[in-house]
């Protein structure tokens, strides 16, 4: 199916859900009930679609993924937070439904931000700015410090669309809460939960991906007491051939003569405080080291496109086929997971920080790059918002490029 046909079909389904939502509201109103949609058949049908295709949520409400991410940010346990978010989306849906069903009632034209519902249900679930924007979709604007008022009554289709979007957000919270319950007693990180939901698609695959991630974390913890993941300290300076012991951090200054001997010289990022850039380098006497430890260190810091969940979703780059010979037991990289190798796109000038990481193309892009805009539309990736994340991705990618250059045959 071509992209245009897919978009038209998605728009058809979006309008279909909104129209059915509107019919449910009007049917319940005729039966004497006015409030958020409570039709079980419609909720079940939309819920099943969301379980299979989480992207439907963004189609019904564009900022829904952002609202969920901000609502769950810094929450040690996403389970209770999801219950609070579901309650908040129900109140936002109610506000939209009241304006749609009772446009003449003046009391619905004002929301007091010191009211019990706002203080105890909305504000603990979502940041204040997101609440103001969500009410802004219904025509509310700030009036004073403690009041939101409708200043521009919206057409009925826009109110129905907003109410249906909040209803879909509520269903998504229930789906995520189900995933959390199925993985109990393990406590999930909210970031892992949302990323697995985005990458895996349907709920069963999401649960399986998070189970695999938990198994990997447990295996890493089990061996953490006996193996130093990033370096092995020599028993004495003599064991290192008379050189000083390696520094405790997994990075070494490129400016030292030792670093210049180990790795071909390359232009690296320089920090603003004037310190020289650093990179992971092998120890002396080991010309072909396994650098996966340093890359794993970066993967833990980066998150997003290069996270362990992304690796689980993409699968192994060289899967073993039953019946075929396995990797040689002497291979130095057999025990370490193979990580994707990233490249700097031609849009990045030397010394510039990237703004976007495309995990499909495995390239870093500048913010104004036209290719990055295409990647945002058609590929998977992540925005690199903080300077720390941008610098880590730049270092990790230059390590990949260095290793690729070093593995090329000498001419």
pLDDT per position as a tens digit, 332-348: 444 444 567 888 888 88
For the chain, the domain total comes to: 2
Beta bridge partners of 112: 147
In this structure, are residues 159 and 138 in contact, taking their beta carbons and an 8 Å threshold?
Answer: yes
Q: Is residue 262 part of a domain?
A: no
Q: Is residue 298 part of a domain?
A: no
pLDDT per position as a tens digit, 225-238: 444 444 444 444 44
Read off the CATH number of the domain in which 44 is found.
1.20.58.2190
Compute the half-sphere exposure of residue 181: CA atoms within 13 Å on the CB side of its CA: 9
pTM, to two decimals: 0.57
Banded model confidence at residue 326, pLDDT cuts 50, 70, 90: very low
| Listed residues 173, 200, 218: the one ending a domain | 218
Q: Which of 287, 248, 257, 297 is nearest to 399 (CA)?
A: 297
Residue 410 has phi, psi (to 5 degrees) of -70, 140
Q: Is residue 158 part of a domain?
A: yes
Domain co-membership, 189 together with 52: yes
pLDDT per position as a tens digit, 345-365: 888 876 788 988 988 888 998
Domain co-membership, 208 together with 349: no
Banded model confidence at residue 220, pLDDT cuts 50, 70, 90: low
Domain ranges, residue 356: 343-406
To which residue do tokens 């071509």 refer?
A: 2
| Listed residues 172, 196, 218: the one ending a domain | 218
Q: Which of 333, 329, 247 is nearest to 296 (CA)?
A: 333
Domain co-membership, 208 together with 62: yes
SS3 state at 368: coil
Q: Is residue 236 part of a domain?
A: no
Q: Is residue 231 part of a domain?
A: no
Banded model confidence at residue 145, pLDDT cuts 50, 70, 90: confident
Question: What is the per-residue burial (b if ≥16 Cβ within 10 Å, else e) of 290-310?
Answer: ebbbbbbbbbeebbbbbbbbb
Question: What is the per-residue burial (b if ≥16 Cβ within 10 Å, else e) of 53-66?
Answer: ebebbebbbeebbe
**What is the arrangement of strands in the sheet containing 381-383, beginning at the earlier edge strand?**
343-344, 363-365, 356-358, 381-383
Pairing verdict, β 363-365 and 110-112: unpaired
Q: Is residue 329 part of a domain?
A: no
Q: Is residue 148 part of a domain?
A: yes
CA distances (Å), origin 49, targets 11, 107, 109, 194, 202: 15, 36, 34, 17, 9
Helices 40-52 and 3-30 meet at what angle, rounded to 10?
Answer: 160
Q: Is residue 232 part of a domain?
A: no
| Listed residues 196, 218, 240: the one ending a domain | 218
């Amino acid at each position: 199916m071509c992209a245009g046909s897919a978009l038209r079909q998605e728009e058809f389904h979006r309008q279909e859900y909104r129209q059915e939502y509107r019919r449910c509201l009007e049917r319940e109103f005729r039966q004497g009930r006015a409030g958020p949609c409570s039709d079980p058949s419609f909720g079940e049908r939309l819920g099943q679609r969301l379980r299979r295709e989480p992207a439907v949520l963004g189609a019904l409400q564009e900022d829904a993924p952002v609202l969920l991410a901000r609502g769950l940010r810094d929450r040690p346990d996403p389970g209770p937070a999801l219950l609070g978010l579901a309650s908040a989306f129900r109140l936002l849906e109610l506000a939209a439904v009241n304006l749609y069903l009772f446009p003449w009632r003046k009391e619905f034209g004002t929301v007091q931000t010191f009211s019990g519902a706002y203080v105890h249900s909305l504000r603990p679930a979502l940041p204040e700015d997101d609440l103001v924007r969500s009410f802004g979709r219904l025509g509310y604007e700030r009036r004073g410090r403690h009041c939101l008022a409708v200043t521009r009554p919206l057409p009925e289709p826009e109110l129905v669309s907003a109410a249906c979007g909040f209803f879909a957000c509520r269903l998504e919270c229930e789906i995520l809460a189900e995933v959390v319950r199925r993985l109990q007693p393990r406590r999930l990180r909210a970031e892992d939960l949302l990323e697995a939901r985005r990458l895996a698609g349907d709920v069963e695959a999401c649960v399986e991906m998070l189970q695999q991630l938990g198994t990997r974390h447990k295996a890493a913890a089990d061996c953490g007491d006996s193996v130093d993941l990033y370096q092995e300290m020599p028993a004495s300076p003599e064991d290192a051939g008379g050189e000083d012991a390696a520094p405790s951090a997994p990075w070494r200054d490129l400016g030292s003569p030792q670093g210049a001997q180990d790795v071909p010289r390359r232009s690296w990022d320089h920090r603003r405080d004037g310190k020289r850039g650093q990179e992971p380098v092998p120890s002396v006497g080991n010309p072909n080291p396994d650098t996966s430890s340093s890359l794993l260190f970066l993967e833990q810091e980066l998150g997003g496109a290069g996270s362990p969940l992304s690796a689980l979703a993409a699968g192994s780059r060289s899967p073993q086929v039953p019946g075929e010979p396995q990797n040689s037991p002497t291979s130095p990289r057999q025990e370490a997971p193979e990580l994707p190798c990233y490249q700097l796109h031609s849009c990045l000038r030397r010394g510039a920080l990237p703004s976007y990481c495309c995990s499909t193309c495995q390239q870093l892009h500048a913010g104004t790059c036209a290719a990055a805009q295409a990647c945002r539309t058609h590929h998977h990736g992540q925005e690199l918002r903080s300077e720390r994340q941008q610098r880590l991705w730049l270092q990790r990618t230059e390590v990949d490029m260095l290793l690729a250059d070093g593995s090329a045959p000498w001419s």
